Amino acid sequence: MITKIVSKSQSTTWQAELSQAFTNPLELLDFLALSHMPLAQQVLQRPQFSLLVPRHYAAQMQPGNPADPLLRQVLPILAEQQQVPGFSHDPVGDQKAEKTTGLLHKYHGRGLLITTGACAIHCRYCFRQYYTYSRHIFTQLPKIIENLQADTSINEIILSGGDPLLLADARLAQLISQLAHIPHLQRLRIHSRLPVVLPSRITKDLIHHLTATRLQTVMVIHANHINELDATVQQALQQLQHSGVMLLNQSVLLRGVNDNVADLKALSEKLFSSHVLPYYLHCLDRVQGAAHFEVNEIEAIQLVKQLQEQLPGYLVPKLVREVAGMPYKQPL
């Protein structure tokens, strides 16, 4: 992962905000009045997968609460160093699915384009934290476009990463324009955590670039807990929805974050009031270093059954697990 996206000298609002993100675990703990609590003794000060947390996201955490569900998602702790059988560096088989550098073909009708290795936040359970990103993905773009043009079975292109919304507007617009000129592509799907962790990225110019072509635009955001959806995030989501972008959410079921019915229900309700439809609830991708987040499948299934008893069907996300080599996410 690339942790330094822009320099502090850049003046664009979201870029300036990102340049001021927390990168030191102890500084984050100090900001939350936790530096003198026992939690500080469990922190990895120089983790292999570095800490990166925008201040907007950190501001949604509860000061003095070592069990805060947002903090747990981003704080590197000693448990990450445990080597657990069944956990690997490529739990979903991305490397084997690469058709050409930066282009994955895992599911019929869909191509997945790895646009960048950069993220605005480093989630400790990230299944791509060990992925070998190309630092020069756009040098590979002609070959990627050629592959997509040749494969008429693909009607949807997924922009992923890292996070595709960390691309500069001009580069993102150029990419989308090139994709829109491939006649058999019908939909543009963007997977991004930025509307949740860095909502200032959702600007009028960005929205224009996302919706300026003939492609139908779908954005899959990633929120795991209701506390991530403050008024600023809701406003950004509303702007996207009003522009015609279809909004879906995918969550990961995480021990100590959202592994209870009350939090999952509250999240679904808040998402829907923010114009976002709950889509997937993922069982943890078993990436090395994330075993302490795992919720077993029996418990996960029971949680979803309880959600079904309390929510209308359209607010119950589909419980799935991604299995390397399988042609679709496996429903549980």
Beta-bridge partner residues of 330: 321
Q: Where are the domains of the chain?
A: 13-81, 98-331
Name the 3-class secondary structure at 316. Answer: coil
| pLDDT at res. 325 | 87
Beta strands 246-252 and 277-282: pairing type?
A: parallel
| pLDDT at res. 136 | 64
High-pLDDT (> 70) share of the chain, %: 96
pLDDT, one tens digit per residue, over 221-236 is 999 999 999 999 999 9
Name the 3-class secondary structure at 87. Answer: coil
Tokens 């992962």 map to which residue? Answer: 1
> Which helix (H) or strand (E) covers residue 178, if one does?
helix 169-180
pLDDT, one tens digit per residue, over 168-218 is 999 999 999 999 999 999 999 999 999 999 999 999 999 999 999 999 999
More confident: 327 or 239: 239
Range in 2-11, 78-87, 274-283, 320-329 with the lowest mean pLDDT: 2-11
How many residues are listed for the chain in this entry?
332
Average of per-residue pLDDT across 59-77 = 98
Average of per-residue pLDDT across 257-261 = 98
Model confidence at 4, pLDDT cuts 50, 70, 90, reads very low
pTM across the whole model: 0.94
On average, the pLDDT of the chain sits at 94
| pLDDT at res. 209 | 97
Residues 306, 268: Cα–Cα separation, whole Å: 13
Q: Answer yes or no: are the C-beta atoms of 173 and 131 closer than 8 Å.
A: no
High-pLDDT (> 90) share of the chain, %: 88
Q: Is the pLDDT of residue 304 over 90?
A: yes
Average of per-residue pLDDT across 271-290 = 98
Single-letter code of the amino acid located at 199: P
| pLDDT at res. 163 | 97
Average of per-residue pLDDT across 149-170 = 96
Q: Is the pLDDT of residue 2 over 50?
A: no
pLDDT, one tens digit per residue, over 95-130 is 888 888 899 998 999 999 999 999 999 999 999 999
Residues 136, 142: Cα–Cα separation, whole Å: 12
Q: Which fold has domain 98-331?
A: TIM Barrel (3.20.20)
| pLDDT at res. 39 | 96
E strands along the chain, which residues?
Answer: 98-100, 103-107, 110-114, 156-160, 187-192, 216-221, 246-252, 277-282, 318-321, 330-331
- Residue 62 corresponds to which tokens in the numbers above? 């509860």
